[in-house]
Amino acid sequence: MLKTHRHYEGTLFRCAHISEALGCLEARFSVYVPDAPRARTALPYPKDCEGFPMLLYLSGLTCSDENVITKANAQDHCSAEGLIFVAPDTSPRGANLPGEGERFDFGLAAGYYVDATEEPWSQHWRMREYVECELPELVHAHFPTLGEEAVSIMGHSMGGMGALACALRRPNAYQSVSALAPIAHPTAVPSGSSPDVRHALMKYLGDDEAAWHLYDPTQLAQGYRKDKKGPAPPILVDVGADDEFLASGVLKPWDFIEACRQSDLTVDFQMRAGFDHSYFYVSTAIGDHVAFHAKHLDS
């Protein structure tokens, strides 16, 4: 535990641990825990306490776990809804690989929630394994969650891409999924765009684009088979109409919506007039997303 802060009707914990998934590097994350229904006298929480559902939030490029907890006001909404809010970092830190800090869209703070297969990135850049397995297991073990059957996932931008991909790969793992301005069809983003998503995927996963499809929400939606996977969790996608990355062709939400339509996947889609890609937009929209997840986690 690095720090704790009293925040609204709950406590924010800033944590660090040595991550096996990330090649034994230190990983930092934040957890917000609402107040318990009954008084507590000490931490850690008693084993017999009543727990809370968990909402996992994946951040976007250039962010760490701290951006959302300091800018989005998610804790206020999670306190009101009774949800534990978990925010991991966006990439490994401390590997000191050549070139890891040269670009905003690759390397540090740009893990894209993939498990890299190309050297040297495959040694540490394993964010899929981290957010799907290691981090939730750690949170369930040390905080008063209701366990793996009461988890939902959301994300912003690169994190929206990661959240949608996680939920479509493992639909039974999440009660609901939502995305704020997601990079919804990364394999179709033009080369040389800013961010250059294709450059990152090639560096992490190699030049066989079939390997990229595992992390592409639109590709996953196109190939979704209910007869094999069962129903997908409820999906909410939210985009600002004045988002600069929508205009430049990086986000491509319509591709995802059409892929879901073809696969008979239901999506609640919202477009907000006048909003851009920033945390001003995220802080405005996040209350609706927390309420969406609370509804499905309570069902």
**What range does the domain containing 77 cover?**
3-37+51-297
pLDDT at 203: 98
Residue 50 confidence class, pLDDT cut points 50, 70, 90: confident
> What token pair was written down for 258?
């059409």
Q: Is residue 130 part of a domain?
A: yes
Q: Is residue 287 part of a domain?
A: yes
Q: Residues 225-271: pLDDT tens digits?
A: 988 889 999 999 999 999 999 999 999 999 999 999 999 999 999 99
Q: Is residue 45 part of a domain?
A: no
DSSP letter assigned to residue 52: B
Q: Is residue 43 part of a domain?
A: no
Q: Is residue 46 part of a domain?
A: no
Q: How many CA atoms lie within 13 A of 54 on its CB side?
A: 26
**CA torsion 134→139→140→145, rounded to 10°?**
-140
Average pLDDT, the chain: 94
Choice among 157, 185, 196, 289 that is catalytic:
157
Q: Could you give the C-alpha distances from 254 to 161, 175, 213, in angstroms and in order?
A: 14, 24, 17
pLDDT at 48: 52
Residue 199: active-site member:
no
Residue 277: active-site member:
yes
Q: Is residue 181 part of a domain?
A: yes
Choice among 76, 89, 243, 255 that is catalytic:
243
Number of domains in the chain: 1
Q: Is residue 42 part of a domain?
A: no
pLDDT at 45: 42
Choice among 77, 140, 156, 277 that is catalytic:
277
- Domain CATH number, residue 122: 3.40.50.1820
Asked if pLDDT for residue 291 goes beyond 60, the answer is yes
Residue 293: active-site member:
no
DSSP per-residue letters across 86-124: EEE-SS--S---TTTTSBTTBBTTB-TT-B--STTGGGT
Look up the pTM and report it.
0.95
Q: Residues 79-107: pLDDT tens digits?
A: 999 999 999 999 999 999 999 999 999 99
Q: Is residue 235 part of a domain?
A: yes
DSSP per-residue letters across 174-198: -S-EEEES----GGGSPTT-SS-HH
